[in-house]
């Protein structure tokens, strides 16, 4: 990190709009409404309802769009909307949606859905395939926009073989207002970047008199990812009361470890919520290799029990919230294209705090003594995968 970066993330800084905007090179928009979607079917119900009511256009960008029951149901819905004359644009990550069948994509095309694959494999640059479009974004008629951690697949919805199952624990937001125009512009850039051509849709979003300020925190380049990291470290180093971090994959850098340790030394309550079990075992064990150090420093660590935790939310001093697709690992912060929104509001921050504490009711707090007595086999796996943490 350069001396200029260190100056930007000085602990003396505060959560002021001009500073946040300068860090991510984007602006806040006022007059927005935000609905937090985190319980069971809330997010998918809201998404399906909004798409079903679309009149002009639907823009969809997802890391995973699988042709299971959930993907087929949404696929049938957007095929129907396309037949009704609604323009539908679907951008999916080539790696994330690799198992989705060609026949599924062909049926969407035949129905009039416009498709593009982001980050496809190229023999001329095979290592670029490590970079993934991890964003999750839906925009309907320029009025409603959704973003968060979920993908279009059964495990996120809690549905398989026509049977209801408990969904993975995830978080998304539905936003309305001027920020939708900013999100649409970001989608337009992604769509054009992957050969989709120019889109000319505009937003006619309502400005709400008592709405909230929201800033897009999207990263689709090395510069964008650097800005996202700056904002994250600035937020950690600026917090004075509390830091609540929820992440599906936690593989911290040395800078991340030092920043969290320094926050505790300043008297900040630092709480980290991670999965008690994971779908990516390599990341799961690599991150746990650093738990002893964090616990000794005074960081509270909670293992979420039950279904898999897939949410990515960060809350600082209950006033600045970040919700989106980025995890606290090397892949998200250094390689992936990620999409998040930041909400600067105490009221929304209190909602986020309530959700965090609700999740803690389904979690187990790690004790340093008990953690020190974990099985030898687990320690070996942690050490092994920690070696490859810059690949996770």
Q: Would you name the residues annotated as active-site residues?
A: 134, 136, 141, 310, 312, 317
Question: What are the CA-CA distances from residue 378 to residues 164, 284, 291, 302, 336 (Å)?
Answer: 33, 11, 12, 17, 29
Distance CA 290, CA 232 (A): 19
DSSP letter at 390 equals G
Q: Would you say 26 and 178 are in contact if contact means Cβ atoms under 8 Å apart?
A: no
In DSSP terms, which residues pair with 314 in a beta bridge? 245, 322
Distance CA 216, CA 276 (A): 30
Distance CA 329, CA 28 (A): 26
Distance CA 118, CA 64 (A): 11
Distance CA 348, CA 329 (A): 26
| Torsion from C-alpha of 315, 321, 324, 329, nearest 10 degrees | -40
Nearest one of 276, 254, 269, 71 to 159, comparing CA atoms: 71
CA quadruple 315, 319, 325, 327: dihedral sign: negative
| Torsion from C-alpha of 146, 215, 91, 324, nearest 10 degrees | -60
DSSP string spanning 17-83? HHHHHHHHT---EEEEEEEEE-STTHHHHHHHHHHHT-SSEEEEEES-B-SSHHHHHHHHHHHHHHH
Structure tokens at 355: 């959700």
- Residue owning tokens 């003396």: 12
Distance CA 305, CA 243 (A): 21
């Amino acid at each position: 990190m350069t001396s200029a970066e260190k100056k930007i993330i000085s602990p003396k800084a505060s959560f002021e709009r001009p500073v946040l905007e300068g860090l991510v090179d984007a602006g806040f928009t006022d007059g927005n409404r935000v609905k937090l979607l985190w319980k069971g079917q809330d997010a998918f119900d809201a998404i399906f309802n909004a798409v079903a009511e679309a009149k002009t256009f639907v823009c969809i960008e997802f890391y995973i769009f699988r042709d299971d029951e959930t993907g087929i149901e949404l696929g049938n819905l957007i095929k129907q909307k396309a037949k009704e004359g609604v323009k539908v644009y679907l951008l999916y990550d080539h790696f994330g949606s690799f198992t989705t069948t060609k026949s599924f994509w062909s049926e969407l095309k035949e129905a009039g859905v416009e498709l593009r694959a982001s980050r496809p494999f190229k023999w001329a640059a095979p290592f670029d395939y490590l970079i993934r479009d991890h964003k999750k974004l839906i925009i309907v008629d320029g009025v409603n926009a959704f973003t968060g951690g979920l993908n279009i697949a059964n495990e996120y919805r809690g549905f398989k073989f026509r049977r209801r199952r408990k969904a993975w624990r995830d978080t998304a937001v539905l936003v309305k207002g001027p920020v939708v125009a900013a999100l649409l512009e970001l989608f337009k850039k992604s769509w054009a970047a992957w050969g989709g051509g120019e889109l000319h849709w505009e937003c006619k979003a309502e400005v709400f008199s008592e709405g909230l300020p929201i800033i897009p925190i999207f990263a689709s380049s090395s510069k964008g990812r650097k800005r996202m990291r700056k904002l994250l470290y600035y937020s950690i180093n600026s917090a004075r009361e509390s830091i609540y971090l929820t992440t599906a994959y936690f593989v911290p850098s040395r800078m991340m470890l030092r920043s969290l340790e320094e926050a505790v030394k300043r008297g900040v309550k630092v709480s980290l919520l991670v999965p008690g079990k994971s779908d990516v075992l390599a990341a799961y064990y690599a991150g746990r290799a650093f738990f002893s150090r964090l616990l000794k420093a005074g960081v509270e660590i909670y293992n979420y029990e039950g279904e898999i935790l897939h949410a990515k939310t960060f809350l600082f001093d209950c006033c600045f919230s970040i919700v989106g697709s980025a995890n606290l690992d090397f892949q998200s912060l250094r390689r992936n294209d990620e999409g998040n929104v930041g909400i600067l509001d105490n009221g929304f921050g209190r909602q986020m705090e309530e959700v965090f504490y609700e999740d803690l009711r389904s979690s187990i707090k790690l004790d340093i003594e008990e953690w020190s007595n974990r099985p030898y086999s687990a320690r070996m796996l942690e050490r092994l995968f920690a070696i490859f943490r810059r690949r996770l």
